Copies of this chain bind each other. A is one copy, B any other.
Amino acid sequence: MSFTITPLKNGLENVQGFFCDATNVGMRPNPDQGDLAFIRSEIPCDIASVFTSNRFQAAPIKHYQRYGKDFQTNFILMNAKNANAMTGKAGIEDIDRILEALGEHTDVLNPVMSSTGVIGYRLPVDKIISGFEKLDFYAKNSDKTARAIMTTDSFKKELAYEVTLESGESFTVAAICKGAGMINPAMATMLCFIITDADIPKEEMYPLLKTGADYSFNRISVDGDTSTNDTVMLMTNRQSAVYRQDAFKAVLDKIMFELAMMILKDGEGATKVVAFNVKGAINDEEAQKAATALSNSLLVKTALFGEDPNWGRIASTIGASGIECDEERLTIYYDDLLIYSDQYRELDKEREERAYEIMKQEQFTITCDLGLGEGSFTAYGCDLSYDYVKINAEYRT
């Protein structure tokens, strides 16, 4: 049974029954870019969410969890510049005040909030409430909404697809996302909001979202190290009355993977994206350990930035990752160029030059075959440049 996935222009406005808009309430100095935004559905939606594993979950996440496991909502309120994290009970009370005031401007059912920005400061509650007058609750401004949640992002992240089944029936999925941190150690907040009119059963929402996140956002982050605010939400109003699991899973995975790659490409100061493909490990878990270590190694990252085909740093990182490995069985490839094996330990000039060519690309793959078993995992990383230091030394101040 086949289906077609067609990219659509613009983002959230493609999904029937949803509205979105943004405004500037003075949290962000540039008045042309929003700092307060929303996604609203005209009818109640089911929602599923994957949150940070950080022990210090931000106030909006704690607030969300107060609704219990199964609830319907019609409203997500978002803000930038302030994470509302490490703000204690007061941080949750601030959300209550804000959402109560929101109810005076539009019909809300179990509204949720999502925040990104600096940790440790109370939300400017009055500013936010005063912004409600400036929002158009019947607008479809995906562009403005996607821009409003950006922090150090250098471009907005927005996608939409229509999925057409063989029968000719179709449903739509759209998403906006923010995140541009080094990702490793994954503490720059990432937020992702996915909306759909697909008739997905409630009980399939969380498992599909979680699996998709594990294959995308969690491949660009390290061992559960996440920020206080990381959030992926999926909301459906079911208005298409159409669903097929394989088609929905395909488009959901595609959206999350593409957004994850956009985050990586937008990595602070990053000049290239590298796939670290570890195979031949004794099991998948060990392959994941090694691949994640490679994508996080400062020495590997700086070698990537310097375009230095120094495979010794790759080998040393694998050796230090605590997994089973053997230098006589290991092989390392940059794209399809064999760069290390028991027989080829020293780079000759020709292979070194080919390695330079490969490393100059904006995107390439480093494959490490441990030669021991069937375990494999691919993690994605970016290089570490001067600009990363600049952005992160100066962020906040």
Contacts and interface: CB of A to CB of B under 8 A. Distances in A.
Nearest to A91: B345
A385 to B, nearest CB: 6
A320 B392 CA distance: 18
Contact of A345 (B55, B120, B322, B392): B120
Interface string A371-397: 000000000000011101110111111
A138 interface: no
A171 interface: no
Nearest to A392: B302
B393 A119 contact: no
Nearest to A299: B187
Nearest to A269: B389
Nearest to A118: B312
B392 A56 contact: no
A303 to B, nearest CB: 7
Contact of A120 (B119, B122, B311): B311
Contacts of A306: 392-395, 397
Interface string A281-319: 000000000000100111100110110101111011111
A90 B327 CA distance: 13
A86 B389 contact: no
A115 interface: no
Contacts of A392: 298-299, 302-303, 306
A185 B306 CA distance: 18
Q: How many copies does the complex hold?
A: 2
A20 to B, nearest CB: 28
Contacts of A173: none
Contacts of A319: 54-56, 228
A388 to B, nearest CB: 7
A88 interface: yes
B320 A186 contact: yes
A131 B396 CA distance: 55
A70 interface: no
Interface in A340-397: 340, 342, 345-347, 384-386, 388-390, 392-397
Interface of A: 53-56, 83, 85-88, 90, 118-122, 181-182, 184-188, 223-228, 293, 296-299, 302-303, 305-306, 308, 310-313, 315-325, 327-328, 340, 342, 345-347, 384-386, 388-390, 392-397
Given A55-B319, A86-B340, 14 more contacts: A54-B316, A54-B320, A55-B325, A56-B327, A119-B316, A121-B346, A122-B345, A182-B298, A185-B298, A224-B322, A228-B312, A228-B316, A298-B388, A389-B389
Q: Which 5 A-B pairs have the closest CB atoms?
A: A119-B312, A306-B393, A56-B319, A302-B392, A54-B319
